[in-house]
Structure 1
Amino acid sequence: MGDVECVHWYAVYVRSRHEKKVHQLFLEKELTSFLPLLETMRQWSDRKKKVYEPLFRGYVFVNIAMRRDHIRVLDTDGVIKFIGIGKKPSVIGCRDIEWLKTLVRESDSIHQTVDALPPGQLVRVLAGPFKDFEGVVLKGGRESRLVVFFDSIMQGVEISIFPELLVPIARRSTESSDVL
């Protein structure tokens, strides 16, 4: 066994409403797993309650050596498949995982709106908990929002932020995701 396989993050697609169960099963199998959850208030007819819901419905992230661990992942109750192109699972960059962790950690403090940047403008965040995030301005004017798009899973997250924390950037000719 001379070659040691690299460990990478992958997204796994799971059955509807099985995200928390799959995440727990991965942990029980001693696999490194990440399930980004956001706290929300749910209203029932008789009460309000804080609940944690997945940031991306149907997705759980796992950090594995693909050749060694892929069968253990796929044999987990509730797992449907790895997310990827064709039959090749997409590697999720460590930077994207860290950004998702920041989004979850800072979700309750995101209240400000983007102003004075045109829709479609690619921007980078200069400071604060979202420093170095890159995204696209979704809407212009006082109600504008920044979308951080994760190419590897084809999902985006909409955030609000002070406009003075943003700087326009040029689109790159070739997009690449960071794999650390």
Structure 2
Amino acid sequence: MKKWYAVHAKPRQDARAEENLRNQGFEVFRPLARLRRRVRNGMVEAVESLFPRYLFVQLDVDRDHWGVIRSTKGVAGFVQFTNAPTPVGEQVVSGIRAMMSGADWIDLSSSNLADGTPVRVTEGPFAGYEGQFFSREGEDRVIVLLTVMQRAQRVVLPEHHIEAA
């Protein structure tokens, strides 16, 4: 019976491992995420592995010759806790695919914060403060209500300085 197994890839070789495993006839699933990365002068959108250095391979360990996977270029080895690869639950893989909802990636680039959502400031002069998401201001900034000196103040922050509390 075929099951999913997690494979550990070599550093920055996720795509290479995926391609080489597919070329050998294995069914491979490497979930991708579209996200925003901070660069020197702003933010850019990028598509990267949702789990860097990890991908999923479906095989039957009793029938398929899984030893070749370990010697595949780009692959470091299986995720295992015994002498054999440890299966990943089908619900894990199907759950990730459901989050992708037919797209090629999970979109993590846009914040899903609604008005009034509790947030925590993670960077900058207000790091550690908690408040409420108020609204967006432009593409990269948000307005957050923070209690400063016993008063709710609207503070404009870069979006990457906050996270949901």
- Fold in common (TM above 0.5): yes
* Counterpart check, 1:19 vs 2:20: no
Cα distance in 1 for partners of 2:75, 2:26 equals: 14
From 69, 74, 82, the equivalent of 1:73 is 69
**What is the number of residues matched between the two proteins?**
117
Alignment of 1:1-180 (within 5 A): 6-42=1-37, 44=39, 49-67=44-62, 68-105=64-101, 107-108=106-107, 111-112=112-113
Tell me, what secondary structure is at the counterpart of 2:52?
coil
Report the TM-score, using the length of structure 1 for normalisation.
0.53
- AA aligned opposite 1:37: L
Quote the residue 2:156 is aligned against. Answer: none
What CA deviation, in whole Å up to 9, does each residue of 1:66-119 have, x standing for no partner? Answer: 242312211211211111213232111111101111233484377147x79xxx
Percent identity reads 21
Report the TM-score, using the length of structure 2 for normalisation.
0.57
Cα distance in 2 for partners of 1:13, 1:27 equals: 15
- AA aligned opposite 2:70: L
Q: RMSD between aligned alpha carbons? A: 3.4
Judged with a 3 Å threshold, the aligned counterparts in structure 2 of structure 1 residues 14 and 66 are, in CA distance, closer, same or farther, namely: same
Highest Rg: 1 or 2? 2
What CA deviation, in whole Å up to 9, does each residue of 1:31-66 have, x standing for no partner? Answer: 100001101234555786532111111101000112
Tell me, what secondary structure is at the counterpart of 1:16?
coil
| Uncovered stretches (5+) of structure 2, i.e. residues with no partner | 119-130, 134-163
Judged with a 3 Å threshold, the aligned counterparts in structure 2 of structure 1 residues 83 and 39 are, in CA distance, closer, same or farther, namely: same
